[in-house]
A and B are shown apart, each in its own frame.
Chain A
Amino acid sequence: MTIDFILNGEDVSMKAEPMERLSDLLRDRFQLSSLMSDCLEGRCGKCLVFLGGHLVNSCLVPAFRVRGAEIITYEGFKSTDTHELVHTSFGQEGVELCGFCDAAVYMAAGSLLDAAAQPPEDTIMETISSVYCRCATPSATLQAVHTAVDLKFGGKYGRAR
């Protein structure tokens, strides 16, 4: 089937089997190397993308589901202000990721900053926990995410900066 959708702000079209994995298609057809096809079961979170503004594991998304949808991968996310904020916060906290999970962790953190209001602690924990990688020092990564949230939402008193 032919599938038209918006990928990182551009209208694209591809031929694919309806049940092909979105993660494979994005890697193979569009050379989007930020997506890691690892567990293919939605456990590791290394293939996260924004589908219609929601963070999803692209390995669990069949091709037919993206017809007419908007997809943002890390390659697109990289050019946003939100990415800049996340990148600054991670650098500030000295968080070093392994080179395999960076894109997914940054996207997960970014999804928290795109919310209308400061996300509660359990949402932060749940969202960041959607990526699994042995490289993370959890306290440092969480600190970096909190720093990003504080920069965006102005700290725990909710003042805008």
Chain B
Amino acid sequence: MKSHAHGMRDIARLSDFPVADALYVGTVRSASSSGTIVSLSLPHLPRDYRSITADDIPGSRTMSVSGADVPILASGSVEYRGQPVALIAGPDRSKVMEAVAMSRVRLEETEPAYSFESFDSSRLVATADVETGDVDAAVAQAHHVVAGDYRFCPQDHYYPEPQGSAAAFDYDKLVILSSTQWPFHVRSSVAGALGVSPDEVIVRSTLLGPHLDGKLWYPSLIACHAALAARLCGRPALMLLSRVEDFLYTTKRAPMIASYRAGMDEAGRLVALDARIVVNMGAHAPLAAEIVQRIVASAVGGYSCPAVRVNAIAVRTNLPPMGAFAGLGTGPVAFAIERLAESCAGSIDADPSAWRSINAAGKGDLTLKAALKRSIPYDLIAGNLLVASDYPRKRSSFEVIRKRRPDPSSAPGFGIGLAFGHQAAAGTFGRIGSDAPSVEVTLSKDSRLLIKTSSVPSSRAALEIWKGSAALSLGLRHDAVRIETSCTDSVPDSGPETLSRNIGIVSHLLEAACEGLRTKRFREALPITIRKSQRARSRTAAPESPLEEASWAGAVVELQLDPVDGSPIIRGIWMTVRAGRILSMAEATRTIEHDAAVALGLSIGEYLDLSHGPADEDSIRRYRLPRYGETPPIHVEFLEDETSPKGIGELAYTLVPAAFANAMSQALDAPVNEMPYRASQPQEGVPR
């Protein structure tokens, strides 16, 4: 095989892939959500064009995503509308798309299942539980019992470039260009599909942009398609989905329904918490096991309760595969527990902050079975946040307006909401086989440092932070440090770029590697290379609470309702964060500010209803993206904390929707228990 991969090293974005000698790959998709394939009719293709079906796959027909098997091309049956059934590759994009449009997949259709509110056991794909104490007895004896159902709808990641991949042979190696968070997953998937060794596949990452975890595993599927076309046609191949295809057929935030029941004593302390959380994972249910585990670990928030029963269930449906969205399921569950906290405080007429303070878990707390080593820092965070936002005074004023408004049939119109929560450590997610996340550093004779990692931060600032801390640690000039991230044949596997692993894992490994270099550099001859890998936690080690090593934050959202159309006008967002040592205050502040602005948009306009079936082209037009002018002032503060740096990338996505819903509930004097908020959504208790 000769080389077609010249110049691929310089391509930053997939849309810049040179198409002159390349084939364009289009996807023939199932038009129905469920059924058995009866026939596939493809148009007569001219020379230089070819079709590819599952029978043409030389290796494995499925790829593995955290334990789930995802078909590379459907054969036999289809599980969702838009599932790839065949590929058409050819030199002219418009002719390829014409051929795709003329192709027909005939199915013997079966009844599709979209609902996850009721389901039979055959659709249950993963469960996770935690149970401490006698919940039923505790609820029976509780002075106050509060219950609620909380819903989080699917949402689109709307990353800046739709999913895509390019593939070309460089002599005996297949080079894949992929905009992926997880280059080594792309490598193993492509190698599996082609039936070759992973060493024969090189994955180069292209620009990611803000992905909200939408480019975790799906790029591997697209890369398999591009790789099959390149292999079977012997020419470079490019597959780049249109925005519409991407919106309709790729992964979305997994929708969730959480039903909570809380029992409290006379003083408002939690004595029982019972939760059943069902999450819709769509077809094939990738990441289901990981998501239910993380939901269970986050379902109680940072609160203490002697009797807890949490049951998380992942259900497979005939919607496109659902999954990660700015974390793995913790955002929706934080919304649920923080709405519940607000209702609990309301039911005993307590101040929501005071309620959180008396219920925050202390050192040694056993709510999640393993004893907490440190108290949850609610009072520390609230002390700062409440002053900065003037929450107590504003809330009291808005309560007066709510309670004394002359016309109870109208909404009070003013609200301020508080939310408190955490971002758990990355843990062991993303290990492939026995590979542990690794970082390699080499100090050369001319005092230059080369850092190699496959973790691809979506911001250049993160790379600068790593360079800065390595330079500082070894007393080097900033420009003497170079980071190589882009290629699987030259960098070690650092795992997927998600769950703030850049800070949580890669920064730690980098720090340790530089420390190793420091001790060796004057004892051994240069160059010195040190490789650090994350050690797996011993199975025999004492159990550790999932809240250990978490970063914590509080958020306040203040709003008022537009007197004409009742839509929310956001007056301000405040966030106080405690996340260990901050490596760059400017970058960390900007990250939280950015995330809070995006999270606010996700709370208000980005609504996608898949309860009656998959999205159609009108859904993308109705999906309202926030604009610059709609962003309120956002105030961010970090508390001093000299513990090791922790992730902050999910905090705003977790807390802003909850704080917004709490503010809206006060402004409407009715519970807002569904996210994102729609002005037309029915509110319980709102007088008609």
Contacts and interface: CB of A to CB of B under 8 A. Distances in A.
Instruction: Decide if A and B are genuine partners.
Output: yes
Interface string B197-208: 000000000010
B666 to A, nearest CB: 25
Contacts of B15: 33, 36-37
Interface stretch (A5-13, A38-46, A68-76): A38-46
Contacts of A43: 625
Interface stretch (A79-87, A130-138, A151-159): A130-138
B628 A94 contact: no
A99 B159 contact: no
Given A96-B459, A98-B209, A135-B210, A36 B161 contact: yes
B461 A96 contact: yes
A117 interface: no
A46 B162 CA distance: 13
B593 A134 contact: no
A140 B160 contact: no
A132 B627 contact: yes
A3 to B, nearest CB: 18
Interface in A118-161: 125-126, 128-129, 132-142
A101 interface: yes
B161 A96 contact: no
B628 A140 contact: no
A134 B158 contact: yes
A135 B212 CA distance: 11
Interface string B453-481: 00000111100000000000000000000
A30 interface: no
A31 B554 CA distance: 48
Interface residues of A, number: 31
Nearest to A94: B586
Given A40-B243, A129-B627, A135 B160 contact: yes
B210 A134 contact: yes
A140 B158 contact: no
Interface string B162-188: 100000000000000000000000000
Nearest to B601: A134
Given A96-B460, A99-B12, A141 B628 contact: yes
A109 to B, nearest CB: 11
B16 interface: yes
Interface in B6-51: 12-13, 15-16
A134 B460 contact: no
B590 A137 contact: yes
A127 B200 CA distance: 48
B209 A134 contact: yes
A99 B210 contact: no
Given A96-B460, A134-B209, A134-B212, A101 B586 contact: no
Contacts of B158: 134
Contacts of A134: 158-160, 209-210, 212, 598
B206 to A, nearest CB: 9
Contacts of A98: 160, 207, 209-210, 458
A63 B160 CA distance: 26
B593 A139 contact: yes
B141 interface: no
A135 B594 CA distance: 8
B633 interface: yes
Contact of B634 (A99, A136, A139): A139
B627 A100 contact: no
Nearest to B160: A100
Nearest to B594: A137
Contacts of B629: 125-126, 128-129
B209 A99 contact: yes
A128 to B, nearest CB: 5
A129 B629 CA distance: 7
A128 B590 CA distance: 19
A125 B628 contact: yes
A95 to B, nearest CB: 9
B621 interface: yes
A36 B621 CA distance: 19
Interface string B438-465: 0000000000000000000011110000
Interface in B592-640: 593-594, 597-598, 620-621, 625, 627-629, 631, 633-634
Contacts of A140: 590, 593
B110 interface: no
B375 interface: no
B615 to A, nearest CB: 15
A138 B207 contact: no
B242 interface: yes
Of the candidates B162, B207, B620, B628, the one having the most CB atoms from chain A within 10 angstroms of its own CB is B628
Contacts of A128: 628-629
Contacts of B627: 129, 132
A87 to B, nearest CB: 16
Interface string A20-64: 000000000000010011111101101000000000000000000
Contacts of B597: 136-139
Of the candidates B13, B207, B629, the one having the most CB atoms from chain A within 10 angstroms of its own CB is B629
B628 A99 contact: no
A139 B209 contact: no
Nearest to A127: B628
A138 B161 CA distance: 20
A100 B207 contact: yes
A135 B458 CA distance: 10
B13 A99 contact: yes
A138 B631 contact: yes
B593 A137 contact: yes
A36 B598 CA distance: 21
A15 to B, nearest CB: 15
Contacts of B590: 94, 137, 140
A100 B628 contact: no
Contacts of B12: 99
Contact of A139 (B212, B460, B625, B633): B633
Nearest to B209: A98
B160 A133 contact: yes
A129 B243 contact: no
Contacts of B633: 139
A136 B161 CA distance: 15
A70 B649 CA distance: 44
A130 to B, nearest CB: 8
Nearest to B591: A137
Given A135-B209, A136-B594, 5 more contacts: A39-B243, A40-B242, A134-B210, A138-B628, A139-B633
28 contacts: A36-B160, A36-B161, A37-B15, A38-B243, A40-B242, A43-B625, A44-B243, A94-B586, A94-B590, A96-B459, A98-B207, A99-B12, A100-B13, A101-B160, A125-B629, A128-B628, A129-B628, A129-B629, A133-B160, A134-B159, A134-B212, A136-B594, A136-B628, A137-B590, A137-B594, A138-B631, A139-B633, A141-B628
What 8 A-B pairs have minimum CB-CB distances, sorted nearest first?
A100-B160, A98-B209, A129-B627, A138-B631, A137-B594, A125-B629, A134-B210, A129-B628
